[in-house]
Amino acid sequence: MKNYELTIVFHPDLEMNIDPALDKVKKILEANNAKIINEEVDGKKRLSYEIAKQQFGLYYYFDLELPAEAPAKISSAFNIADEILRYLLCKTDERKAKLAAKRAEQTARSNSAEETNNKEEA
């Protein structure tokens, strides 16, 4: 299993209901034995140039572990997905992957601490 970064730019019309598109992406990843280490939402941003007559896109970022044959299969599935304007799937080095895993762990810890504080206040 090698470490990869995946950045996806979704069609901006999906902003109000992005869940089905994200579920579709996650099913494609799961079908190719991907392990999602970290997932980040970068939100709606202006594109540098128009893509499919769109000036904005919804950015999502994933840190993944993939088997060797998976990137080609994932790319072919993403190429025919209407919801995706663009995607970038690149291999990362070990140090960067460890930092991403540590960041995901810290985020999970801070989220659980916030939930505990919210319960205590209520």
DSSP-assigned states of every residue in 19-64:
HHHHHHHHHHHHHTT-EEEEEEEEEEEEEEEEETTEEEEEEEEEEE
The share of the chain scoring above pLDDT 90, in percent, equals: 68
The whole-number average pLDDT for the span 27-33 is 95
Q: Is the pTM of this model over 0.85?
A: no
Give the pLDDT confidence of 36-91 residue by residue, as tens digits: 988 999 999 999 999 999 999 999 999 999 998 999 999 999 999 999 999 999 99
Q: How far apart are CA 26 and CA 77, in angstroms?
A: 12
Q: What is the mean pLDDT of residues 12-31?
A: 94
**In the predicted model, what is the mean pLDDT of residues 26-44?**
93
Domain that holds residue 79: 2-121
Domains held by the chain: number: 1
> What CATH code is carried by the domain that includes residue 36?
3.30.70.60
